[in-house]
Amino acid sequence: MKKREIYADLRCVPPVIIRVDGRNFKNTLIRLNFEKPYDKRFASAMADAVELLFKKSGLSPIFAYMFSDEINFLFQDVSFDGRIEKLDSVIPSFMSSALTMLLKLDEPISFDSRVLPVNFDYIHEYMKWRQREAWRNCISSYGYYTMRLEGLSEADAAAFMMGKKGSHVHDLLFKRGINLSKVPAWQRRGIMVHKDEYEVTGFNPVLNERTTTTRTKVVQNWDVPLFESEEGRLFLNYFILREENLS
């Protein structure tokens, strides 16, 4: 029977990105009366769930980049010997459990995931791509829910938005008093969760001298730079190159 586990030995070689997406979250969010198009309570719960994965799962992402119900985990140290069916089941199931607890849900939710083998040079392009998607999501979400508030049905609002260029929607919203360049940065650019280093000063009584120890903590960054910019490139390099040097 063991021979029938035909996908059990599919493995990936790090670095890898594991992208996790919420499945059919719309009804859950409606039932919880979250604000549209964005609700900071939901974004906070997502970020807190990611932070729990850093602290409690035994897994060690370099960082996680998220927007809406999408999370991108970058790994250099891959658990389970890189077995894809393990990574594609443990990570989304952990996220489902964590978010269920944080939102105090009485109905199950689920995530799906996929594994993307990358090299360190490609990470920048991937992150720029996902951040551009976060911006497109911001534009379309504000456009759609603005039309809904103006009385259009779900179908009509979706049809109205179909094929609209981002610049067109941006102008349409601006005429209605919504300046997308002024909405919170996390809505436009996403959120990062990562480990940060800090120093703790103490005293060693054996050596009779002061000591400095470097420790790490998990940080939520709600104001990430634009990855297309030089600042964004340096920001990503800080984590990527640090991990390369440690490996």
Are 195 and 112 within one domain?
no
Q: How many Å apart are CA 17 and CA 9, to the nearest integer?
A: 19
Cβ atoms of 173 and 180 within 8 Å: the answer is yes
Are 91 and 171 within one domain?
yes
pLDDT score of 47 = 98
Return the higher-pLDDT residue of 209 and 180: 180
Are 217 and 173 within one domain?
no
12 C-beta neighbours (distance < 10 Å), count = 19
How much is the mean pLDDT over the chain?
90
Whole-number percent of the chain with pLDDT over 70: 94
pLDDT score of 189 = 97
pLDDT band at 31 (very low <50, low <70, confident <90, very high): confident
Are 121 and 234 within one domain?
no
- Domain count for the chain: 2
pLDDT score of 184 = 97
Return the higher-pLDDT residue of 111 and 243: 111
Q: What letters, b where the CB count within 10 A reaches 16 and e where it falls short, cover 13-45?
A: ebbbbbbbbbeebeebbeeeebeebbeeebbeb
pTM of the full structure:
0.89
Are 42 and 77 within one domain?
yes
Q: How many Å apart are CA 164 and CA 169, to the nearest integer?
A: 7
- Helix locations, the chain, DSSP H: 26-31, 40-56, 84-103, 120-149, 154-161, 166-175, 185-189, 230-246
Reported as a single tens digit per residue, the pLDDT across 130-142 is: 999 999 999 999 9
Reported as a single tens digit per residue, the pLDDT across 155-168 is: 999 999 998 898 89
Q: How many Å apart are CA 70 and CA 19, to the nearest integer?
A: 7
Q: What is the mean pLDDT of residues 21-43?
A: 87
Q: Which amino acid is at 12?
A: C
Are 177 and 121 within one domain?
yes
pLDDT score of 67 = 97
Return the CA Rg of the chain: 21
Whether residue 127 has pLDDT greater than 60: yes
Domain that holds residue 208: 191-246
